[in-house]
Structures are given as C-alpha cells and as structure tokens.
Amino acid sequence: MGIISGIKNLFYIVKEKIKSAFVKVKNAMTHFFEKALNMMKTVVDKLASKVRGIILGASHFFRKIGNKYQEGTKNYSLEEEIGEWNETTVTREIPLEDVPPKYRTLDDEFDMDDTQELDAVLAY
C-alpha cells in the first residue's frame, strides 16, 4: 500500500499545482481585462467632450512593438451634420508585469483586437 499511496499523493500534488496555475492565469487575465475596461471608460468619458458627434462604439486592442507592449482603444463617432464617421485611437504602454502570460510568450510583433475576449472574460 505504501507505493500506491505515494503515487496517489504525487498525482494529488500535481493536480493541485495545475489547478492553482490555471487559477493564477485566469485571475491575471481578468485583472488585465478589468484594467482595459476602466481605460476604455476613461477614454470615452474624455473623448465625449472633445469629438464632434456621438461616440457610438469602441474596440480594444493589444500589441507588441519591439520589446514594448501597448493597449489601446479605437473609438468610433458619427458627425450627423455631414454624415461622416471618425475613428479616434488612444494607446498606452503597459509594464511587462501587467501583460497577461499568454501574450508574453509571443516572440514576434503582433497586433490583435481582443474586444470579444474582453467581453467574454468580464461577462463571466
């Protein structure tokens, strides 16, 4: 029974470590997207008084340029008088410790729209 008990104990420890790692990654992603949502709210509030027209939509993106990480929002407004759509982009740099683990592993430069993922994580 000693060997079987030891093997069960080993698998239990491994299972708990894996579960703990998933929880940490999920928490990091949730924290990242909560900060992204706060950034989007702040940007929309500030832009509302500066752009002509009404802000009708926004999207969130994340990118890596060289060794730097940025997040940003694209905000879409409509000038009703002339029927023209405008896009206002706002970005900010993100410190490495605030970058979600899944983005840190990407070596190449990238630019991704993560608006749907933001919605999904925050709806959970």
pLDDT in tens, 22-68: 777 777 777 787 888 888 888 888 887 877 777 888 888 888 888 88
Closest to 40 in 3D by CA, of 120, 101, 123, 114: 114
- Is the pLDDT confidence value at 1 over 70? no
Give the separation between CA 40 and CA 37, rounded to whole angstroms: 5
User: Residues 97-104: contacts with CB within 8 Å, 24+ apart?
Assistant: 98/32, 98/35, 99/32, 99/69, 100/25, 100/28, 100/29, 100/32, 101/25, 101/28, 102/25, 102/29, 103/62, 103/64, 103/69
Give the separation between CA 27 and CA 35, rounded to whole angstroms: 12
- Is the pLDDT confidence value at 107 over 90? no
Residue 93 pLDDT grade (very low, low, confident, very high; cuts 50, 70, 90): very high
Question: Which pLDDT score, from 0 to 100, does residue 84 have?
Answer: 82
For 68-78, what is each residue's pLDDT tens digit?
899 899 988 88
Q: Report, as an integer, the average pLDDT of 70-97.
A: 87
Q: How far is CA 42 from the centre of its chain?
A: 16
pTM of this structure:
0.63
